[in-house]
Amino acid sequence: MKEKQVIVRFAPSPTGYLHVGGARTAVFNWLFAQKMNGKFILRIEDTDVERSTDASIQGILEGLTWLGITWDEGPYYQSHFIEEHKRAAQKLLESGHAYKCFCTREELERKREEAMGRRTSVLYDGTCRRLSPEEIARKEAQGLPYTIRLKVPRGEGAVRFEDLVYGSIEKKYRDIEDFVIVRSNGQPLYVLGNAVDDIRDGITHVIRGQDHLANTPKQILIYRALGAPIPRFAHMSLTLDSKKAKISKRRHGERVSVNFYKEHGFLPWAFVNFLALLGWSTPDSKQIFTREELIEAFSFEGVSKSNSVFDLRQDDPKFFTDPKAVSINAHYLRTMPVEEIEPYVRRELERAGLWDPAYEGPRREWFLRTVELIRARYHFTTDFATLGRAYFSDDYPLDPKPLKKNLLKHEGLKTWMPELAAELEALEVFDEQSLETTIRSRAQVLGIKAGVLINAMRTVLTGQAAGPGIFDILLTLGRQRVVERLRKVPTLFEHPEEAANDQQAPVERTKPKAHTSH
């Protein structure tokens, strides 16, 4: 028999931006669809009109597009199917799987309080389930409002299903009340609409957040009552911060939004790779995956039931997010073919007003070589325009600490640097060998270590204490810029406070501390 095609969906509610938890659910759906040669549908659950916004829908579409999570169908909008949800409820009434409930809110509230007082079940007692057709007709004729409730089977049985992550789940019928599927104002409830949409779309695997696990038994009852095949379910554990608090906009602000990572120098695939590792792993704990490898390796067996930790580093001024995300991003940034990160570097330089069209023309070779050289220490694409500014502009700030330590502390450098500049200017050839000879013999003449000259030069030329080897720096910047910058050194001694320009000098980040697993 031919296997049924796998069909999955990502069904975000557009009530905020695409947050990392939602994006992770999208990634798992997408990976599974790719792996199974299946179909991935995007379905926007926008029936909560009070909270849904167009801006949020845009944000979700943009976030997914940035991540490279492509969908085969959609976006569909749940709000377009409300009539269909109502028809499903009607069908359930007609087939005897649902009934009209005329109990008023006050009555229900009173019964609930009484039950609480008696310490008995507070679930709906089924009063209207027992109404005769005549009583129903009479109440309807009076124009009494009613909700529609699903008739949950009575007796000893239970709803049972095998969740692909949580395993066997069982919920006894007696613990499920006849729940409302349509409100008294005629609005279908989410639990119904969501199931009806999944049936229509032929969803074979419902992959979603663990917060929906509690809805599942009810939804299975709806599937059964509608005579529809029941999909497989896979619930994903929650993502918490390092203090075990739920990740939320209120607590963590922008950092929970995928867009934040786009704006803060993440490469999309690096972020997908990181998201996939939130609650999923391979037996060998592999960390870096190409797209093909990730699709190949993904399985629900590797998905953890325990909550995953996204360490947002709220209190860490240097690293604004999970160190693991940072190190994965740095890995890609430093090892991807340089042509592949070129568009991202370009975007950052453009944003900082540092892009020169010659970088895609006559200076392209220089540009790519420079990117290759400086990226070795970078973590974020934004670093090219901040830490790397001195390579793309003559207007760059100097980090005050190394400025003091490597330059201003040595009074002699005030004259030695311009002298060196003159020497470099006069060199017949400006290559590594002649540069090395010049610097070393100058140090010898001055009776100082070559390192004193080298550290001062690196600081003056790049604004940073650390970076590529000095000869690489000199050759990359080129003779003219080197000479000009070294000539300006006396001014730095006279006005050190101005050296940092108006901009704050970016501080090179040290390697983040490893993430301790929980």
* Integer Cα distance of 390 and 108 in angstroms: 71
Stretch near ligand GLU under the rule CB under 6 A, chosen from 29-37, 207-215, 261-269, 404-412: 207-215
Q: For residues 13 and 438, which CB has a smaller minimum distance to ligand GLU in the complex?
A: 13
249 is catalytic: yes
The footprint of ligand GLU on residues 38-67 (CB under 6 A) is 45
Q: What letter does residue 303 receive in the DSSP assignment?
A: B
CA 104 to chain centre: 44
Stretch near ligand GLU under the rule CB under 6 A, chosen from 7-15, 61-69, 424-432, 465-473: 7-15
CB 149 within 8 A of CB 181: yes
The footprint of ligand GLU on residues 412-451 (CB under 6 A) is none
Consecutive H or E run containing 111: helix 105-118
Catalytic one of 249, 305, 318, 449: 249
Consecutive H or E run containing 159: strand 158-163
Q: For residues 45 and 163, which CB has a smaller minimum distance to ligand GLU in the complex?
A: 45
Taking the CB of residue 54, how many other CB atoms lie within 10 A of it? 9
* Integer Cα distance of 60 and 475 in angstroms: 45
Q: Which of 139, 171, 174, 212 binds ligand GLU (CB under 6 A)?
A: 212
Determine if 14 is a binding residue for ligand GLU (CB under 6 A): no
Q: Which residues pair with 163 in a beta bridge?
A: 167, 233
Q: For residues 21 and 512, which CB has a smaller minimum distance to ligand GLU in the complex?
A: 21
Stretch near ligand GLU under the rule CB under 6 A, chosen from 204-212, 313-321, 451-459, 467-475: 204-212
Stretch near ligand GLU under the rule CB under 6 A, chosen from 10-18, 118-126, 280-288, 347-355: 10-18
| Smallest gap from residue 63 Cβ to ligand GLU (A) | 14
* Integer Cα distance of 192 and 201 in angstroms: 14
Q: Which of 6, 12, 98, 203 binds ligand GLU (CB under 6 A)?
A: 12
For 240, phi then psi, to 5°, come to -115, 165
Determine if 153 is a binding residue for ligand GLU (CB under 6 A): no
Residue 397: closest CA among 495, 468, 503: 503
CA 110 to chain centre: 46
What does the angle CA 347 – CA 249 – CA 31 come to, to the nearest 5 degrees?
65
Q: Which of 74, 75, 126, 209 binds ligand GLU (CB under 6 A)?
A: 209
Q: For residues 22 and 468, which CB has a smaller minimum distance to ligand GLU in the complex?
A: 22
- What secondary structure does DSSP assign to 1-70, as a single string? -PPPPPEEEE----SSS-BHHHHHHHHHHHHHHHHTT-EEEEEE----TTT--HHHHHHHHHHHHHHT--
Determine if 29 is a binding residue for ligand GLU (CB under 6 A): no
Determine if 208 is a binding residue for ligand GLU (CB under 6 A): yes
Q: For residues 75 and 496, which CB has a smaller minimum distance to ligand GLU in the complex?
A: 75
Determine if 194 is a binding residue for ligand GLU (CB under 6 A): yes
Which residues does the annotation mark as catalytic? 249
Enumerate binding residues for ligand GLU (CB under 6 A): 11-13, 45, 194, 206, 208-209, 212
